Amino acid sequence: MEDNETIKTIKERRAIRDYDTERDVSDELIHRIIEAGTYAPSAENQQPWRIIVVRDKEVQEFIGQIAVDRTVLLFGRATPREELERRLGYIRSKVSLERTIDILISGERFEYIKGKKETFGAPVLLVLAIDQTHVGNSQETLRGTGGVYGWSSPRHGVIAGSMMMQNMTLAAASLGLGSCVSSVQLDHFDDVGEISKRLGIPFPHWTPILCLTVGYAKHERTLGPPRQAPEEVTFLNQWGEPFSPKEGGK
């Protein structure tokens, strides 16, 4: 069966880390992407998300530098080289493998978050914050279905926020835009605090969890890192039981 447009968009979306710095993205397009994001499901329709659209180059640089510094610590210092080689084993060419390791351990790989022309940065950076109190309908603007006190948990905020993020990446791809989800600058408690302070996010009630760079890709890219086949990640009825529709399934 041939893939329909939706499935094609899902499969062809790639993490884009080099942007065409001659092309800006209009607020109208950003609005459409965020609007698509807001159609994501959320527990009790609580919509526990806020987005900050960052166009300010200084703020982009501030957030990007935190990503670069954290990457140097994680990949450059904490991760043994053999482990990096093992994880990147799918890269066949020795030259590409060396280059990928270099840009990881030097933090260069995450320069794009800074939005600078010299490093083909993205014109727009979206910061997603989620409601971490998330108990009942705590939001004034909520037009949801009504909260049940004590039922929702902070975990729901993370889950719903992630689904919103996926909607936005797919919407961007469907509009011919490149994007990249990033979290390395928000994985460490100190970094989350610093970024919240700079953006005025009322942390920890609202907690930034992910960023999304958006822009036009410098190079078209549809091939990504390999995926496991459904047969490798799926069981039928019970853990360990193969699910293989091609061999005698329905």
Ligand X SMILES: Cc1cc2nc3c(=O)[nH]c(=O)nc-3n(C[C@H](O)[C@H](O)[C@H](O)COP(=O)(O)O)c2cc1C
Residues 177-196 that bind ligand X (CB under 6 A): 180-184
Residue 225 near ligand X by CB under 6 A:
yes
What values do phi and psi take at 134, rounded to 5? Answer: 45, 40
- At a CB cut-off of 8 Å and minimum separation 6, what does 134 contact? 46, 48, 152, 153, 154, 156, 157
Distance, CA of 48 to CA of 165 (rounded, Å): 12
List, as one string, the DSSP characters of 68-95. HHHHIIIIIIIS-HHHHHHHTTT---HH
Residue 15 near ligand X by CB under 6 A:
yes
Residues 104-143 that bind ligand X (CB under 6 A): 110
Looking at 14-22, 43-51, 136-144, 194-202, which segment touches ligand X (CB under 6 A)?
A: 14-22
Count of residues binding ligand X (CB under 6 A)?
11
Residue 33 near ligand X by CB under 6 A:
no
DSSP state of 178: E
DSSP state of 237: S
Pick from 202, 224, 242, 245 the residue near ligand X by CB under 6 A.
224
Residue 160 C-beta: closest distance to ligand X, Å = 14
Contact track, ligand X, 144-173, x by CB under 6 A: ------------------------------
Nearer CB in complex with ligand X: 40/44: 40
What values do phi and psi take at 171, rounded to 5? Answer: -60, -45
The footprint of ligand X (CB under 6 A) covers: 14-15, 17, 110, 180-184, 224-225
